[in-house]
Structure 1
Amino acid sequence: MPLINSALSAGLDVTSAVELKANQEPPFVYNGQFPRHHGFIISPEEAAGMLRADPRNGEVVLPFLIGSEMLTKGAPQRWVIDFQKRDQFEARTYEMPFDHVRTFVLPHVTTLAEKEKTKTGKDAGQDQQWLKTWWQHFRCRKELIDRITERPRYIACSEVTKRPIFCFVDSGIRPDHTLEAFVLADDYSFGIIQSDLHWIWFRVRCSRLKGDFRYTPRSVFDTFPWPQHPTENQIANVAKAAVGLRTIRCELTEKLKYSLRNLYRTLEQPGDNPLREAHAHLELRRPRRIRHAG
């Protein structure tokens, strides 16, 4: 098991890196939800109306965060109706949300299923299967939702990005499929995920989409060599530096009226920069040697 030191660079050949069981069992990274139809998505005003009509609707009507809004707005700008794996009879008890989905989603799914059957001549297929549970998202990511709701927050990054921007997201917010969700809630894990080491590993192990980096959990996270046996002092120092980094980001975005994307663009220019200093401080606190099988 060779040691990888802190000099890891984008020029290093890591093609032989293997998937690590500790990173996979259970999985820590999931692609977000894929409703597959805009009828599940509602405006904040529509959501407010449903919540006023029956506070219980809050169990299936939740804020919905997409990748671009995390980078530019910093908060969800839309809501989603999400029945998860509830059967139709239970879903019907949420009257307004169910009626909305029945009106806007069911006709679309029915059409898809009919077209699929006509095209294939078969009674089976993904769209015909979806019709059986049309009130549910095409991919509701039950395992992800079950796991993040057990925690106060989770880490997210835009699935496709140019810059190393990771954020904590409240567990009451549903992640869209343009986000990768990390089922990690502690500041130490955030510090490692936000570190230069992880960003470089991301860049050399990921796939590309139109020149941007695309986070692919299997090739990036599942092979990522976490620091082995960090001391309590190291964990505390990384966690403290991670909190400091997020504090600086918050202060700068509020002071400058910048989005996170625009704030990180300033790192592409020379000169003193509190954000650069915060990242450098995090790197100084990160355990310097890691062990990786591969």
Structure 2
Amino acid sequence: MIATNTIAQGDTRSTGLRYICENGGTIYNAQKRVKWVGLAAVIVSVINVFKGDYQGVKSLDGRKVDLISAFLFKSGGNNNPAVLLANADKSFQGSIVLGMGFTFDDSKPDGTPIAEMQRLIEQNSKNQERIFPYIGGEEVNSSPTHKHHRYVINFGEMSEDEAREYPDLIKIVEENVKPERLKLGDNADARRRKKNWWLWGRYTSGLFKAIAPLERVLVTNCGASTYISFSFQSSRMVFANTLAIFPLSTYSAFCIMQSRIHEIWARFFSSSMKDDLRYTPSNCFETFPFPENWETNPTLEAAGKEYYEYRAALMVRNNQGLTDTYNRFHDPDEYDPEIIKLRELHTAMDKAVLDAYGWLDIPTDCDFLLDYEEEEDDNLTPNPSPYQREGGRQKKKPWRYRWGEETHDEVLARLLDLNQQRHQEEILGGKVAGKGKGKGKKKKSNKTKSKKVVENLPDIPGIK
């Protein structure tokens, strides 16, 4: 088979290679990344499959191996990673406000000015009870201090009568949000949002409950991003739906999440837009097997703290946010001593995480490697330029300071094995993680009639 290199990813793998491997087929030869010989700038995978009892030599990227999995790894299983109970209620997506009329924002010409918000609070201090700092992925990634510049009116899950106890604020929402809501369609979700026009489109009550006891939480952008970068934010914020939020406040958590170990997992199982990552907590976090006793590991805490504080000070000194900082981090022509030190601290953090797993045999050496290749001209030179021509202008090549493919695949295969091991342990313990309501409870007997299950479901607005 000749296919795009996504054949070993997501649903394509699940319905193709996985089915073959689990139904009498054997992958006996695979080349994962082969540049197409024609004019098209395409990377393909070349895979040979045998149906039946294969007795010959297996080869993966030119190396003799004992096994080639559906992931095109030399070890590990073929199954999708399981959702782990240990990670339940530790990841959330931000709220969908659905109406910029809720916000006070000086950056939008048609927004309510922040000066007006301040005037309303001075006029009636009660208004401050329903106004909160509001932040999204763009501010987190672009500001050197992750500073928000917007505020939002939040009536929570109040009735209209309760919301009208804040007449100044309900007036703003009624004027700026209600007219747009009334233009929505006629499906169940739209009808609910039109009826409850003073409420956000989706209020994440579970998120607010989970972060309430904490001073800070870990967040990352879940929109299309070139890099995975985590930072701490005050738990008193309202987080937009462009952010994934984790009620984790320790540097140990940051150390693991920011490490290349977690990045490898997230990049492989996330959705993507072009070559950018979309971090989806259900795929990237809920299935991720953390090392044992990571919460109390002093080495992880120290490594994470040193990296985080150094990076924070570096961004302030250079007046650069996360995106600009990691652009320099992954630039092969960047030799600034401060960036070199950041790379060294990242390697130290990776080493601490690998040690926590007990994987002392995995090297942490990195090199500047292309995520994919579009042209051959510069790639064959001894000192390739990080840029290439595109339409008469300079376009940055997709360099990344990362592990080689062999280390990448070895770590990913071990994480997959560990995920299945943890999942089996949770099953033996009588617990199964799932999505949505009832997460972490024992499964009901499969003798229950499907009709009864449907009849007993609660009437949830907007959900058929």
Tell me the TM-score range normalised by the shorter chain. Answer: 0.7 to 0.9
* 1:138 equivalent in alignment to 2:196: no
SS at match of 1:164: coil
2:37 is matched with none
What does 1:44-83 correspond to in 2, within 5 Å? 44-73=114-143, 74-83=146-155
Relative distance call for 1:222 and 1:231 in structure 2 (3 A) is closer
Higher helix content, 1 or 2: 1
The residue type paired with residue 346 of structure 2 is H
* Structure 2 residue 137 is matched with structure 1 residue 90: no
How far did residue 11 of structure 1 move? 7.4
Whichever residue aligns with residue 328 of structure 2, its letter is T
| 1:230 to 1:262, Cα distance in 2 relative to 1, 3 A | closer
Distance 1:87 1:256, change over 3 A: same
**Contact 1:154-1:169 at 8 Å conserved across structures:** yes
The match for 1:3 is none
The SS at the match of 1:80 is strand
Q: Distance in 2 between matches of 1:84 and 1:193?
A: 30
- Name the counterpart of 2:229: 165
Offset at residue 17 of structure 1 (A) = 1.5
- TM-score, normalised on structure 1? 0.86
Q: 2:183 is matched with which residue?
A: 111
Q: Distance in 2 between matches of 1:231 and 1:102?
A: 46
Check whether the contact 1:18–1:293 (CA below 8 A) recurs between aligned residues: yes
- TM-score when normalising by structure 2: 0.55
Q: CA RMSD in A?
A: 2.1
Instruction: Count how many residue pairs are aligned between Structure 1 and Structure 2.
Output: 272
Rounded to whole Å, the distance in 1 between the matches of 2:72 and 2:298 is 31
2:286 is aligned, of 194, 219, 222, to 222
Runs of 4+ with >4 A deviation: 10-15
Q: Partner of 1:248 in structure 2?
A: 310
**Cross-structure match for 2:91:** 29
Equivalent residue letter for 1:98:
I
SS of equivalent to 1:192: helix
Q: Would the aligned equivalents of 1:248 and 1:274 in 2 still touch at CA under 8 Å?
A: no
The Cα of 1:132 is off from its aligned counterpart by 2.4
Partner of 1:103: helix, strand, or coil? helix
SS of the counterpart of 2:323?
A: helix
Q: Distance in 2 between matches of 1:147 and 1:47?
A: 28
Distance 1:217 1:11, change over 3 A: farther
Helix, strand or coil: the match of 1:172? coil
Runs of 5+ unmatched residues, structure 1: 1-9, 117-123
SS of residue matched to 1:102: helix
SS in 2 for 1:227: coil
Quote the Cα distance in structure 1 between the aligned partners of 2:79 and 2:324. 32
- Matched to 1:288, the amino acid is Y
Distance (Å, rounded) in 1 between the aligned partners of 2:218 and 2:149: 19
TM-fit CA distance, 1:277: 1.7
Q: In the alignment, residue 181 of structure 1 is paired with which amino acid?
A: I
Match of 2:183, SS state, is helix
What letter corresponds to residue 357 of structure 2 in structure 1?
R
Q: Which amino acid aligns with 2:208?
A: I
Contact 1:15 1:205 in 2 (8 A): no
Give deviations 1:215-272, integer Å, cap 9, x for gaps. Answer: 111111111010023494xx11211211111111121111111112101111112345
Give, as a single letter, the amino acid of the residue that structure 1 aligns with 2:345.
A
Q: Does 1:192 align with 2:192?
A: no
Larger radius of gyration: 2
SS in 2 for 1:269: coil
Cα distance per residue 1:192-211 (max 9 Å; x no partner): 11111111110011011232
- AA aligned opposite 1:57: N
Matched, 1:209 2:273: yes
2:84 and 2:102 mapped to 1: Cα distance?
Answer: 36
Match of 2:342 in 1: 275
Report the secondary structure of 2:182's partner residue.
helix
Whole-Å separation in 2 of the counterparts to 1:197 and 1:184: 18
Q: Which has the higher contact order (CA 8 A, sep 6+)?
A: 1
Percent of aligned pairs with the same residue? 25
Distance in 1 separating the partners of 2:245 and 2:72: 27
The 1:51–1:236 alpha-carbon spacing in structure 2 relative to 1, beyond 3 Å, is farther
Partner of 1:288: 357
Q: What are structure 2's unaligned runs of at least 5 residues?
A: 1-70, 106-113, 359-414, 422-464
